[in-house]
Amino acid sequence: MHASRGVLTIQARTAPPARRGIGFCFLLLARDRPRSCLVCLSLSRGAKLKYHDSGREKDVLPRIGQWNMMNKKMVNGGRVSSWTCINFSRNVQDSAARGFCHELAIMCQISGMDFASEPVLAPVTARPEHVERALKARYQDAMNVLRPQGRDLDLLIVILPDNNGCLYGDLKRICETDLGLVSQCCLTKHVFKMSKQYLANVALKINVKVGGRNTVLVDALTRRIPLVSDRPTIIFGADVTHPHPGEDSSPSIAAVVASQDWPEVTKYAGLVSAQAHRQELIQDLFKVWQDPQRGTVTGGMIKELLISFKRATGQKPQRIIFYREQAALLIIMSFGMRTNFTADELQTLTNNLCYTYARCTRSVSIVPPAYYAHLAAFRARFYMEPDTSDSGSMASAATGRGPPPGARSRATGNVAVRPLPALKENVKRVMFYC
C-alpha cells in the first residue's frame, strides 16, 4: 500500500475481542484515490507480552484476548517510597482503612512495584464537605516530614463513599491542578470486599500513574512492530468530549496523549484543553501567534508533546501515527521519505497496541492511545464540572469507557471559553487519567 506525500488517512473500526484475536476493518481514504475502498482484514492472533524476568511467568500469549497477573511481575515496576491515605467514608473505620492499605501495598509489591510497606502518615478520616481543606492539610503534613529529606509525596490513596456526588471530581481537580499529586480512589464496597482481583487491578493503575510499565510487547523489544520499530516513532491519540444535549453553552473538552517511550510505546503523556461548544476540530493542536519581541511564535498540544518525547527518549520522532477517537481517524506521517506499508502491517500494529491497555489484563476494542485520550478528556471535565460521575476509574475491572452520556456539566455562558486549570508538570508526564 502506498500513500503519496507520506500521508495516508484511514478510518478504523475494531470489533470486540474474538477467540482468535481481534478483527479490524479499515476504510482507506487516500488523497490519490478517486474513491474510498473498504478493506476487510482477517482475524489476527494475540500479541505476545513480556513481563519481568523475576516472575515465574516471564511472558504470555493471550489465547482469548485476556490473561491475569498470576505468577507475573510488572515489566517495569514503579516506585512509591512515600504515600498516605485519606478516608472520606464514615462507614470505614480506621482499622479497616489501615488493613485495606496494608493489603494494597502488599499486592503492589507482589506485582513488582517498589512500594513502601508503611505510609508516611497513618490514614486519616475526613468529611466529604471538607475535601479541599483535608487534602491540603494532609499534603502539607506529609511534606513537612518529606521536604527536609528532599522527597515528595508519591501517591495518595483515597477511600470514598459508594455514592460520593461531586467528591471524586473535586478531589481529582485539587490533586492534579493544585497540589500536583497523583491519587488512587477506592470505593467503600471494595474496601470491605478486598478481593485479590480488585487489588491486582488497582495495582496496575497505580503503577502507570507513578511512571511504571505493566507489560510491553515482545515484538517491541525485538524491534518487529511494523511502522514503529524501524525508526523513532511517536503515537498520538486524541478525543473531544461534548456536554450533555441541551447544555447549549458548556465547552467541549479536547484531550491529546502521546507515547513517551520508544521502541516500547506504552507510556503516554496527556494534555487537555477546553474549546468552543460542540466543536469537533481540536482547536489547540497547533497554534500560531505574534509576539512583539519574538515575532511569529508557534505552539500547541502537538508541539508540547513532541518536545516531551524528545526529552524522554533523546530522539526526534521520524514518524508520527495519530489515532482520533469518535472520528476513528488514523493518520500516518513520515518525514523525508515516502510512506510504504501494507494493510497487514496496519492490522498488526493496531492489533498489537490493543493488548497494551494499562488498566486491565485484556485486549480492548479501542486502540489504547485513543482510549487514553477519551479518559483524559472526561477527567478534564471534572476540573470544570466536578460533579460528573466516573465509575470507570473506581470499578473493580476497567472495562467501562467513562461517564454515561447524561453526565451533567456546568454552563459557562455565551462568552469566550474559560480555560481549564493547568495540570501540574509532574502530573502531565504520567498516565494520571488511568
Task: Tell me whether residue 335 is in a domain.
Answer: yes
For residues 389 and 416, the answer to whether their CB atoms sit within 8 Å is: no
Whether residue 42 is found in the same domain as residue 151 = no
Given 209, 234, 265, the domain boundary residue is: 209
> Is 351 in the same domain as 382?
yes
Q: Is residue 269 located within the same domain as residue 382?
A: yes
Q: Is residue 385 part of a domain?
A: yes
Residue 43 lies in a domain: yes
Q: Is the domain of 192 the same as that of 235? A: no
DSSP-derived pairing of the beta strands 319-324 and 233-241: parallel
Q: What is the pLDDT of residue 244?
A: 84
Q: In CATH, what number is assigned to the domain containing residue 162?
A: 3.40.50.2300
Q: Are residues 368 and 222 in the same domain?
A: yes
Domain that holds residue 220: 2-50+214-389+423-428
In a domain, 434, yes or no: no
Residue where a domain stops, chosen among 163, 190, 209: 209
Interatomic CA distance for residues 65 and 127, integer angstroms: 42
Total domains in the fold of the chain: 2
108 and 226 within one domain: no
Strand-by-strand arrangement of the 83-87 sheet: 124-125, 83-87, 155-160, 183-187
* Residue 414 belongs to a domain: no
**What is the full per-residue pLDDT of the chain (434 aa) written as tens digits?**
444 344 444 444 443 443 333 333 333 333 333 333 333 344 567 899 999 999 999 999 998 899 999 999 999 999 999 999 999 999 999 999 999 999 999 999 999 999 999 999 999 999 999 999 999 999 999 999 999 999 999 999 999 999 999 999 999 999 999 999 999 999 999 999 999 999 999 999 999 999 999 999 999 999 999 999 999 999 999 999 998 888 777 899 999 999 999 999 999 999 999 999 888 899 999 999 899 999 999 999 999 999 999 999 999 999 999 998 766 587 777 776 656 778 888 889 999 999 999 999 999 999 999 999 999 999 999 998 655 544 434 433 333 333 333 333 334 445 578 899 999 999 999 999 99
Is the separation of the CB atoms in 354 and 364 below 8 Å?
Answer: yes
CB 228 within 8 A of CB 355: no
Residue 55 lies in a domain: no
Task: Please report, for the domain that includes residue 374, its CATH number.
Answer: 3.30.420.10
Concatenated DSSP letters of 386-405:
TT----GGGSSS----SS-T
Q: Do 63 and 49 contact (CB within 8 A), yes or no? A: no
Q: Per the domain annotation, does 408 fall within a domain?
A: no
pLDDT score, position 339: 62
Q: What is the pTM of this model?
A: 0.85
In a domain, 317, yes or no: yes
Report the pLDDT value the prediction gives residue 111, as an integer from 0 to 100: 98
CA–CA distances in Å: residue 346 to residues 3, 174, 228, 281: 13, 40, 11, 25
Residues 6+ apart with CB under 8 A from 193: none
**Boundary residue ending a domain (209, 242, 266):** 209
C-alpha span between 315 and 309 (Å, rounded) = 8
